[in-house]
Structure 1
Amino acid sequence: MHLLTRAERLAARRLQAALDEHGCSLDAWRVLSLLADGEGHPMAAVAEAAFLPPPTLTKLVDQLVDQNLVYRRVDPLDRRRILAHLTPRGEDHWRRVDREVRAQWPVLSDGDDELLRGLLNRLADTLDGATAESSV
């Protein structure tokens, strides 16, 4: 666990340093990254993916709306849901920030990157499954 915690802290520190140059928080970057696929996402799904409580996400999205980076729309398929989307300005902002993050990120070989991604996905799935089983 110590190694995983150390890697997470070092990664977050490096990521935050890149984000600071753009006045972007780690939580905002997570939200913008999720919305960058252009599909629009329900607020509950964004909160879950960004590891934020819904009230905290609402406050953050309010700030992103005020900055003209994000907008909300009623889901045409389910009018009870609100979808969050990037504005054109938000897309430009996210691309600039993402480019900076990638430029400052350590490079792993393709094989190591793929191996790490697979192991982390397996660990997350295992932990997620164990959490779901213990809550039953």
Structure 2
Amino acid sequence: MVADSSIDTADALEELSRTLRTVSTLLDKRIGGHLDGIPVAQWHVLAALDGGEPLPMASLQSATQLTGPSLTRLIDAMIDANLVLRKVGDVDRRHVLVAPTRRGSQLYASQRRALSSLREDLSADADEVIPAVLNLLDRLKADDRVG
């Protein structure tokens, strides 16, 4: 009798999804613990804007994984804190672009320095998580070859 590989695949996908979500949450908590008083979501926005070029809200939504209304509230708070500014696109006035202010860029640079000490905290987590994720990916590859 041949085992039903679709069940193994579904189990591996569910476990991989939970594991990656847990890792993402843990990473954001670790990062948040090393940031000097700004929320992790603001750090994600400043990181996305690090090149200095204005970005559309859709790009920031991908970078932060926030819904439209939540991202708008976050950007509003960052404007109030003089970390970013919002402007209308030059070509298409319907596009809203967000750019870092000098203060936002300086804050991001200082936060990057503060995060340099995070490496040691993450090393222990990585030793535990990476083998688990690789194992799940191997299970998925094996299920794909069987099915």
What TM-score does the superposition give when structure 2 sets the normalisation length? 0.66
Say if 2:100 is the partner of 1:89: no
Aligned pairs for 1:1-136 within 5 A: 1=15, 3-19=19-35, 22-106=36-120
Instruction: Name the amino acid aligned to 2:43.
Output: W
Q: Which has the larger radius of gyration?
A: 2
RMSD: 2.5
Task: State the distance in 2 between where 1:46 and 1:80 align.
Answer: 16
Task: State the distance in 1 between where 2:25 and 2:69 align.
Answer: 25
TM-superposition CA deviations, 1:41-67 (whole Å, max 9, x none): 011221122100011001000000000
Task: State the distance in 1 between where 2:29 and 2:57 align.
Answer: 27
Where 1:105 maps in the other structure, the secondary structure is: helix
Task: State the distance in 2 between where 1:9 and 1:72 align.
Answer: 29
Task: State the distance in 1 between where 2:95 and 2:26 align.
Answer: 37
Residues matched between the structures, number: 111
Using CA pairs under 8 Å that are at least 6 residues apart, name the structure with larger relative contact order, 1 or 2.
2
CA positional deviation for 1:3:
4.6
Instruction: Name the amino acid aligned to 1:85.
Output: A
Identical columns (%): 33
5+ residue gaps in structure 2?
1-14, 138-147
CA positional deviation for 1:23:
1.2
Structure 2 CA distance for partners of 1:48 and 1:7, relative to 1, 3 Å: closer
Task: State the distance in 1 between where 2:23 and 2:33 align.
Answer: 15
Instruction: Name the amino acid aligned to 2:56.
Output: P
TM-superposition CA deviations, 1:49-91 (whole Å, max 9, x none): 2100011001000000000000011111211111100000110
Task: State the distance in 2 between where 1:48 and 1:57 align.
Answer: 10
Instruction: Name the amino acid aligned to 1:100.
Output: A
Structure 2 CA distance for partners of 1:99 and 1:41, relative to 1, 3 Å: same
